[in-house]
Amino acid sequence: MKIFRNVQSLKKIKKKIVLTTGVFDGLHIGHQHLIKKVVKIAKKIKGVSVVLTFDTHPERFFNKKNKIKLIKDFEAKIKRLKILKVDSVLLEKFNRIKNLSAVDFIKKYILSNMNLYCFVTGRDFVFGKNKSGNISLLRKLSKKLKFKLLVVPDIKINNKRVSSTLIRKYLKQGKIKLVEKMLGRQYSITGKVVKGGHIGFKYPTANIKLKYEEIPADGVWAVRVLYKGKNYLGAANIGVAPTLKGEKKPLLEVYIYNFHRNIYGKKIRVVFLEKIREERKFKNYQQLIKRVDKDIKLIQKKYSNA
């Protein structure tokens, strides 16, 4: 899979291009269905499948006070596009195109720089400055400018359209099984381990350094930790650690069962299995330890052989 960082580079591709564009955060089953259509059409015409996406979420430009979190980071998105057998990815900086009108986006940005055969998108696609372009305008432009347009139907679960927005909502509600259905895989976060808390050193925990990832609901979670090809059962706490010193921002702290290696500075992947309970403030440290003992026994009993 090739990665381009300048749209003009696509002029080098002489074959017909089948294109889709979007943030594709999380690459959920709706995204996967759409991208598979792109790849299938490109193969059929012996052309090239291209995904135009962005190095950051566009909403981060417009809502700077409450910046949107990402379901998956950029690196994970690129890996999944490769798995889907996309030929090329055009990674664009959103601020380069944010002021283009809808018509200019199609005519000057896309058609002037590539041999477009077919544009594939979902029914809610909007484009151009202030989201002024929609599917109706895109249909008119496709007829006028002689390129094919395929609008892919929504994928629904429980009569609700699968979307990144809904997945974020379910993450915050702790509805991890619905998240899994919509992603088509287990939800996980990959991050760098930094020195974290030690509850009396009985349960040494590692903080996961987070930047843009969407953190699931506060509370205690059963997790699996993947490190260097092996996976380990663990317990994770998401919250502000109210019984101890208390934090201003939520932390992701993980206790890994039967694990005694120094992994500070290393990347690990945390897979969320189930929310065990809410985070709570205990009267004292001893009560906290007693409850943590109970949580760990519960997780071990349920997931040790899973």
CA distance 249 to 180: 26
Number of helices (H), then strands (E), in the chain: 9, 14
State the total domains in the chain.
2
74 CB contacts (<8 Å, ≥6 apart)? 55
For the cut 60, the answer to whether the pLDDT of residue 95 exceeds it is yes
- CB distance 12 to 98 below 8 Å: no
- CB distance 152 to 33 below 8 Å: yes
* Residue 80 or 69, more confident: 80
- CB distance 71 to 25 below 8 Å: yes
For the cut 70, the answer to whether the pLDDT of residue 154 exceeds it is yes
> pTM (2 decimals)?
0.88
Distance in angstroms between the alpha carbons of the first and the last residue of the chain: 35
Residue 120's pLDDT band, with cuts at 50, 70 and 90, is: very high
Residue 38's pLDDT band, with cuts at 50, 70 and 90, is: very high
Give the residue numbers spanning the domain of 96: 2-157
As a whole number, mean pLDDT of residues 219-240 equals 92
As a whole number, mean pLDDT of residues 259-266 equals 90
The two beta strands, 48-54 and 88-92, are: parallel
Q: Is residue 165 part of a domain?
A: no
Tell me which residue of 89, 119, 151 sits closest to 18, measured CA to CA: 119
CA distance 25 to 4: 19
**Pick from 157, 177, 207: which residue ends a domain?**
157
Count of C-beta atoms within a 10 Å radius of residue 86 = 22
The pLDDT value recorded for residue 251 is 79
- CB distance 191 to 210 below 8 Å: yes
Q: Is residue 191 part of a domain?
A: yes
pLDDT in tens, 51-62: 999 877 767 656
**Pick from 113, 140, 157: which residue ends a domain?**
157
Q: Is residue 246 part of a domain?
A: yes
The pLDDT value recorded for residue 275 is 94
CA distance 268 to 89: 26
Residue 88's pLDDT band, with cuts at 50, 70 and 90, is: very high
The pLDDT value recorded for residue 282 is 78
Judgement on whether residues 23 and 104 belong to the same structural domain of the protein: yes
* Residue 158 or 283, more confident: 158
Judgement on whether residues 139 and 244 belong to the same structural domain of the protein: no
Say which CATH number the domain at 206 has. 2.40.30.30
- CB distance 32 to 184 below 8 Å: yes
Task: Provide the mean pLDDT of the chain.
Answer: 89
CA distance 148 to 115: 12
The pLDDT value recorded for residue 200 is 47
Judgement on whether residues 253 and 296 belong to the same structural domain of the protein: yes
Structure tokens at 67: 């910046």
Q: Is residue 143 part of a domain?
A: yes
Of 123-127, 157-161, 202-206, 275-279, where does mean pLDDT reach its minimum?
A: 202-206
* Residue 294 or 248, more confident: 294
Residue 202's pLDDT band, with cuts at 50, 70 and 90, is: low
Judgement on whether residues 202 and 134 belong to the same structural domain of the protein: no
pLDDT in tens, 283-294: 777 888 888 899
CA distance 287 to 244: 12
Q: Is residue 269 part of a domain?
A: yes
Judgement on whether residues 141 and 95 belong to the same structural domain of the protein: yes
